[in-house]
Structure 1
């Protein structure tokens, strides 16, 4: 996160906190952090899945799907990577999973603690 992005984030957090708005949920300041970490982790998972053996079988990235997740902090949307042969089985957010474990949400937000 650049210094400017950090400043904008802190400004949004402070505004939402002072105005009594929720910091969580689709419009909350913390939703983009959750979404970014989860999407990056899913990208790493599919990169690992599509090793040279899988690619030699003709499997490769196909597109991205959309999924609405519910966490202890509200709802937010993520994009999930997919492969051509539909053999990718993500571990962080499994297929058809719509509820994110509360402890995972708290750990992700803890990674972004403001100093």
Structure 2
């Protein structure tokens, strides 16, 4: 019954401007009502903090795509299905090519892509220019 309110409180952490603001939001969460009611949540965030920090290096639009799990889970499902159907690969390059083809086909099949996708894609092009443009060629 507390799921929505708890999620709203946690959103202040992962939607913070940078890692310093996120840590302040986490401290505030832990000291607040939800942190007192569910202390294990604050402890989990603290234990995984070193893995969370790189997330804040990305611009807000890219982070939104990352933490919007429906789109990610749907895409992950397509990737798993393609790998499972193939079974094994003669090389890592063969696996990479298959995943690339699945990703391209998936993007074209989106009837209504997430609204942040266009902005995230342009941010990926800026952040990962060499890899991004090589993959698009």
TM-score, structure 1 as length reference: 0.30
Which structure has more RCO (C-alpha within 8 Å, separation ≥ 6)?
1
Question: Which of 1 and 2 has greater Rg?
Answer: 2
Structure with greater proportional strand content: 1
TM-score between the two structures when normalised by the length of structure 2: 0.27
Give the structure with the larger helix fraction.
2
